[in-house]
Amino acid sequence: MSEITIAIMDRSQFFRDGLRQNLSSQRDLRLIDCDPDSEPLQFIDANSVDVVLLDIDSPISEGLELGRAITQHYPNTRVIILSSYFREEELFEALKTGAVAYVDKRTSTEDLVGVIRRASRGEYPINDSVSANPAIADRVIRQFQEIASMGLVKEKVAAPLTHREIQILGFIANGGTNKQVANMLGISEQTIKNHVSAILRKLNANDRAHAVALAIRNQWVSVDENSVGMSR
């Protein structure tokens, strides 16, 4: 198993030490810590960081801005946002930064390790959080629909999608959750998750909403205004 280099970014040395200790039993994780006030971007570059565990609690706006800067300057470095309060508004803002996961600090070590490994494989655990919050899913999709309608989404598509992937993306664009899409197509929810991961990878999309925006912009899918929000 290849080693995953993880930077723990938090202003509190106490928190960084504690998190590093909790994760130290995982042999495939190389743990280093960084004070976000001391040149974090240069730190990522110098240490070839794969995953950043970023605390956004102090203050939230600066943490989110740092997360956005990391994803913009180092797109291959996966940002996992840690927060003391799992809130819909923070989840929405975390999505906009390009973070791959939004995790409650109170989560178990086992669950956090699972998120880290999924992120390192190119997955987007934050999509699970969005699926569990239908109001956020609707809000994000609507925002990207507006951006797409104004012609502001110009990302180049990296690879074409299969017919099945376009079909699934169409259901997602109209508010379908993984479970609902799986039921409509008569396949497993895990298969849908696998397809979504493939879609994100092919389109170089940060998340489901970004993929939807690209699909709408390129007219691969259409949106039925009456069906958006079906996930409620």
Concatenating the DSSP letter of every residue in 63-96 gives: HHHHHHHHHHH-TTSEEEEEESS--HHHHHHHHH
Write the CB contacts of 96 (distance below 8 Å, at least 6 apart in sequence).
68
CATH number at 93 reads 3.40.50.2300
> Which of 105, 61, 53 shows the shortest CA–CA distance to 81?
53
Model confidence pLDDT, tens digit, residues 129-150: 777 777 776 776 666 556 555 5
pTM: 0.63
Mark whether 60 and 153 lie in a shared domain: no
Q: Which domain holds residue 209?
A: 134-217
On whether residue 222 sits in a domain, the answer given is no
On whether residue 227 sits in a domain, the answer given is no
Q: Of 103, 123, 143, at which residue does a domain stop?
A: 123
> Total structural domains in the chain?
2
Model confidence pLDDT, tens digit, residues 20-52: 999 989 989 999 988 888 889 999 988 999 999
pLDDT in tens, the chain (232 residues): 589 999 999 888 888 899 999 998 998 999 998 888 888 999 998 899 999 999 887 677 788 889 988 988 888 899 999 988 777 778 888 887 888 899 988 899 999 999 999 999 888 888 777 777 777 767 766 665 565 555 544 443 333 577 888 889 989 988 888 899 999 999 899 889 888 988 887 777 778 888 888 787 777 787 764 444 444 3
